[in-house]
A and B are shown apart, each in its own frame.
Chain A
């Protein structure tokens, strides 16, 4: 697929760097300046996110209700379903509490997904908003059960958004201290085998085995910082997991009676922490308590391996599935030079000629395609459109990549027969209410300024109806890629 002239810099700024053009806004005259200017315009806490019910309070109420109901059920056990049958696991009251919580959590998740989409539609800083999505995927959680789902929106709002224009280290720490991550990668369950809590447990019940869970430790090294095959060993992972013991979410996991602190917030529990000095990547950590894992993590963040890992993912997101090595090297150098300062890194990205290649370099993910479609038809309010359900149907459910590696960022993962058919189905549904009010022939050149392909323009011009023309525009090769 080649366009006669290739994409214009304005088209690249709007679509590859931004979230897609809004036809009511003139294309930027100075694309690089427009992108860098967004650092001053980004809104860390848009209204939709600010309005979300407090996830920690919801969890606290639920746990309180569960405890009360359990006490009642133990005082007056529910009768067995038939004489002689074992008593049911839960009383009707307990079951109702669990069910209500499940529904409340789904409602919160859907509301948070609406806030995410609304922010993407109304943002004055679409490039920075894209970076929020990028980091949210880099440091992903997967809302596959009610406890994680409760904190999914709060995770992006509180761990990612405030730091997107800050420092990598601060984002890293905010992520690893967030209840969503501590729950998702089982850190709330991990106990130092020689910690006071483990010792007490073995006195109480010698048969009971409590100890380490290395899930979070491994994924911090493999996915969040150093990167896989970057030279660490199984022993490093285990040592780091030991250092992490005691990092937990308030009110969740062993010894998790809710303190008076912020419900669902980070807490360090010394009684869970593995005592002693740790050796990780050849360096000795003699710090005590919470500081030990923190020191190791800050060291990870400052390694050349982490710089290269982040640079590679960033280059892949903007310069194509097989990013050019000189660009990776340049971004890694900017990451190191800026000591993790993210605007410095973004500026190096914007100044990289490889990110301005005139041919489209990326196949949009379902999220990118949906948001750019909504922006493209001039929709500024998400309203009652159920974004969570749409993303599920398109194959990329919000905050549910299903794996701590996050969604893959290559065309091979998204450009597939069934996935494409879903986009055509959705495009048809999306344009139904607005198709006769928008002239796709005029819209095309606004969405892809000065480089809309003549072949697509020709096909759109021959469509049987305005609605059909608009649907075709949204699924055109020009609009599926960026």
Chain B
């Protein structure tokens, strides 16, 4: 039944908070393009962020969660954007934001931790791959300097691997004396693990000199932009957001979460200045949530969700969805939005195009165990 599905929905406009101690990770390489990956840990509810208001089953399934629809920004005849996403809606209007709906990684169970592992490693099973796809992306870049950096105290799974990665996060502790820093370096000289980590720490410290020390979304966006806009700085960054696991009180919690994320994105845009035009930001989560509201004004762990691409380099203003429908018999296992687009395929296409790499080759390198057919046409030339 072809007419049950809506292929490639295209639209025009758009618009809630809690990023738990977000962190960032970076990678450097000699290209002028930038690629940023923002992970939403905790399974963000795609049906509430980009709502299929025109789907006949939507209102009944969502119950009290559907109230936001009245204030949501209509993106097209099918989808509407959550009202908290004010700046993102502007980006959508300027064709700098697009959404891909009903996406999922190969993972089909409902554990956050396994789901995040699959999303970040790019394997098909949890803990199958030992390093992250973002680290493999660093290795794919031309004349890679084999160096990367993280604005989290630690390096997230997606960026772990053989390509060297560092990390940075604002600290309230006093700066150690130069003498101590030097002696620590000598102390670690013969220890391969600590020597590598320490060199990376000092390098990040140098790059961050004079940066703001706050963890709020606007400061974080500014900090990330500061790294990314440096001529010799990193070209790949990763930020982590948490707090998306809305089993209860979803209306208010998601409004606050999305407002924080919206602020972060706007801050990235505003502080990147001219570099924004060459930037692609991918936002994705480990899986979606139940199609129906649960008994406590929230949603439980589900399957497909929505992924976002924002940035000056994005060919935006569209919602891409091979829409599976929410009606009887259309849900995955009778409860979740059914995945119709592999998230791997989107990641491979977005990462390749945003950095000017060959999509097929990137897909092979990032996701060797599946080699998805990359989604293309996501960025402007």
Contacts and interface: CB of A to CB of B under 8 A. Distances in A.
Interface of A: 1, 144, 185-186, 189-191, 193, 198, 207-215, 218, 222, 228-229, 234, 237, 393, 395, 402-403, 405, 411-422, 424-426, 428-429, 455-456, 459, 462-464, 468, 471-472, 475-477, 480
A213 B293 CA distance: 10
Contact of B184 (A208, A209, A424): A424
A179 to B, nearest CB: 16
Interface string B189-219: 0111110011011101100000000000000
A362 B180 CA distance: 25
Interface string B147-185: 001111111000010000011110111111101110110
B300 A214 contact: yes
A425 B204 contact: no
Contacts of B204: 417-418
Interface in B6-49: 20-21, 41-42
Contacts of B55: none
Contacts of B278: none
Contacts of B192: 1
B188 interface: yes
B193 A1 contact: yes
Secondary structure call for the B interface: loop
Given A234-B110, A422-B171, A425-B171, 7 more contacts: A193-B295, A207-B63, A208-B64, A214-B301, A405-B112, A418-B153, A471-B180
A218 B293 CA distance: 17
Contacts of B150: 416-418
Nearest to B62: A209
B157 to A, nearest CB: 8
Interface of B: 20-21, 41-42, 63-64, 109-114, 126, 149-155, 160, 166-169, 171-177, 179-181, 183-184, 186-188, 190-194, 197-198, 200-202, 204-205, 242-243, 247-248, 293-296, 298, 300-301, 333, 335
16 contacts: A1-B193, A211-B296, A213-B295, A213-B300, A215-B247, A228-B113, A402-B21, A412-B155, A417-B168, A417-B200, A417-B204, A420-B194, A421-B176, A462-B183, A463-B183, A472-B187
A464 B169 CA distance: 29
B154 A229 contact: no
Contacts of B42: 403
A363 B381 CA distance: 46
Nearest to B187: A459
A366 to B, nearest CB: 9
B17 to A, nearest CB: 13
A463 B183 CA distance: 8
Contacts of B294: 211-214
A428 B180 contact: yes
B111 A417 contact: no
Contacts of A1: 190-194
Contacts of A222: 111
Contacts of B111: 222, 228-229
Contacts of A415: 193-194, 197
